[in-house]
Chain A
């Protein structure tokens, strides 16, 4: 069902609540009155034939006099998309919360509140999420001026460039920090019989700087509150001050384990805005580096999962294999980790025959190493006991919380953007979508999430073999104007990253810089399910659970 038909249905059902149908946008959107949002959202989710069960992304946009919230909806059952918009006055932005309908919205709304100051009515835990609680102002608002000092630290920014102005001094009182019980350290008053514990932000198994506030009864967890934002680098604000092509190196740093996906997604979004056709060879180059990057990322994911349950050796073996991928990447684009390989309209360098030869040789080698790895750790009884039956996520929960990628597929949901919403040259390549099969326990447990990644690596090897052989001759870059100035429009483009759906919501206003760029990342969305899953787990299980989500901190915090 396409957007126009759905609009017809909605107008029929809610004659008062629907305002406008914006057909000229690249993703046609329906504007809804704030008062009718809850009813419309409920209708969209529950109605037979619509079944929008998956909220992909929720982004706030500052339109200066108004604040807008954009909902990107998807139906996994029906396979169609819809965009809904709600606007509120800038002075008192109140919008009803949809966190009761789609649980994904919980954290996304908190983010919109944090960065834009939108007040979501009915949200039960509307706190700042990325910035510290005593932060002043909402950075993504267009009139935001940074504070000159925070806890004794002053920024020193070079002049020139397009520097964000720093505010004048002036003593402005900081709002008090509402510490959760777990943050108090060892001397706090016990609340009931529970033990408060802070896991992070510096902890060996939180995969970067994440904080988990635990309430435990002995070893058993009764509540876990993830606290993120320790690596919030304000990438979305930076993107608004950079030209479209200049943002490419920044996208590398969104997800350092999967930089190629971030490059790819950004390039695709801008290409859709500009309506550029990418040459075939460039598309093949993109798929090859994507899949190499997927293997490299899954190597870290599976290896660190083994490390977090106590086996160090598998991790170093994977690091060794990863070095070869890094070598190949270096041959392709000259960088080991943050590639900055793709360009709007193509890629920066061609893939040489030497790379093809080396990659094919390494793939033969890697097949055997995969088997060896299976013997080393996948079949290890202790490893299986540690992961199987732990933190089982049902398919409904996975969709409701907006999990994506291997985490979603491990719960048995057969959804892969590469196949279901094809982009690049994936339709020409033959590969299987790996779903969880309850290999060692029940469907959707930690072992499934682990083994999904192992099998996806095998599929990536398959794709790579085909793509390397089928690569056509030709250009590697399309003709792109020197200064990229897309027409005012907005676009949501997504790629299947190693951590699930990586979406870019880009609003252009006709200037050479994006008006708003929102990054929808897999880790941020999957982190929100931890609070729901954790009661009843043990401390050691939480470590396995975090590892099984393959969380990358900058992807959470951006």
Chain B
């Protein structure tokens, strides 16, 4: 991405830079530029499909909206993935497992809550056994609404995440919280 592109993004009110990455983003050196280019070009997501959104997640990896174009391939092991795509409802019984999976991922790691259920509980907010949003268990970087979101929406989320990563300072992200 050129300098112009960066300026365009930062000046646009649509893109809100989260406060925790501002220190890094302020000093966007050439090294960071390169590092981020490689990082956002190879977002490996974990195949974590729990419910309906999982099918749309598969369709997104399929022929029409091919996620592989962006260098995103699915990994089955959390150890090798950068992105936890929580695609579907998380129940109380599953909650501990999600925590574990998130803990097993190496830094820097990102979480997209895909679909209404993962965002807030969605249709099942009232249920006795559904976690009202995966952000009650693990930190979430991006919320993707829809029930389920279309593959195009997921594609957009990945592109949006790339734009985010472009502005980050890698050393901040790797530091343990």
Contacts and interface: CB of A to CB of B under 8 A. Distances in A.
A87 to B, nearest CB: 26
Contacts of A235: 124, 127
Contact of A157 (B49, B126, B147): B126
Contacts of B130: 233-234
A155 interface: yes
Nearest to A166: B128
A510 B155 CA distance: 47
Interface string B27-65: 000000000000000000001111110111011001110
Interface in A142-164: 144, 146, 150-151, 153-158, 161-164
A153 B134 CA distance: 10
Interface residues of A, number: 52
B132 A233 contact: no
B147 A323 contact: no
A238 interface: yes
> Across chains A and B, which 8 residue pairs bring their CB atoms closest together, nearest first?
A319-B62, A256-B52, A234-B127, A320-B63, A146-B128, A204-B76, A150-B92, A230-B94
B147 A338 contact: yes
Contacts of A232: 91, 93, 129
22 contacts: A131-B129, A132-B93, A139-B128, A153-B137, A154-B136, A158-B125, A204-B76, A208-B49, A208-B54, A209-B50, A231-B94, A232-B129, A233-B91, A233-B124, A235-B127, A238-B127, A241-B126, A300-B55, A319-B62, A320-B62, A326-B59, A337-B55
Interface stretch (B7-15, B16-24, B95-103, B167-175): B95-103
Interface of A: 131-132, 139, 144, 146, 150-151, 153-158, 161-164, 201-204, 208-209, 229-235, 237-238, 241, 249-250, 253, 256-257, 300, 316-317, 319-320, 322-323, 326, 336-338, 553-554, 557
Contact of A201 (B52, B97, B123, B132): B97
A201 B94 contact: yes
A348 B29 CA distance: 56
Contacts of A230: 50, 91, 93-94, 97
A153 B136 contact: yes
Given A230-B93, A554-B89, 19 more contacts: A131-B93, A132-B93, A154-B136, A156-B132, A164-B126, A202-B48, A208-B51, A208-B88, A209-B94, A230-B97, A231-B88, A231-B91, A232-B93, A234-B127, A234-B129, A235-B127, A237-B127, A256-B55, A322-B62
Contacts of B125: 157-158
Given A231-B89, A319-B63, A336-B150, A208 B132 contact: no
A153 B94 CA distance: 12
A322 B92 CA distance: 32
Contacts of A139: 128-129
A153 B52 contact: no
Contacts of B101: 202
A316 B92 CA distance: 33
A338 B97 contact: no
A492 B58 CA distance: 35
Contact of A153 (B50, B58, B64, B95): B95
A234 B51 contact: no
A322 B63 CA distance: 10
A353 B88 CA distance: 35
Interface of B: 47-52, 54-56, 58-59, 62-64, 76, 88-89, 91-97, 101, 123-132, 136-137, 147-148, 150
A152 B130 CA distance: 13
B52 A554 contact: yes
A255 to B, nearest CB: 10
A162 B123 CA distance: 13
A229 B93 CA distance: 7
B52 to A, nearest CB: 4
Contacts of B124: 233-235, 238
A163 B132 CA distance: 14
Contacts of B96: 151
Contacts of A208: 49-51, 54, 88
A282 to B, nearest CB: 25
Contact of A237 (B59, B91, B93, B128): B128
A132 B128 CA distance: 12
A233 B129 CA distance: 6
Contacts of A161: 126
Contacts of A553: 50-51
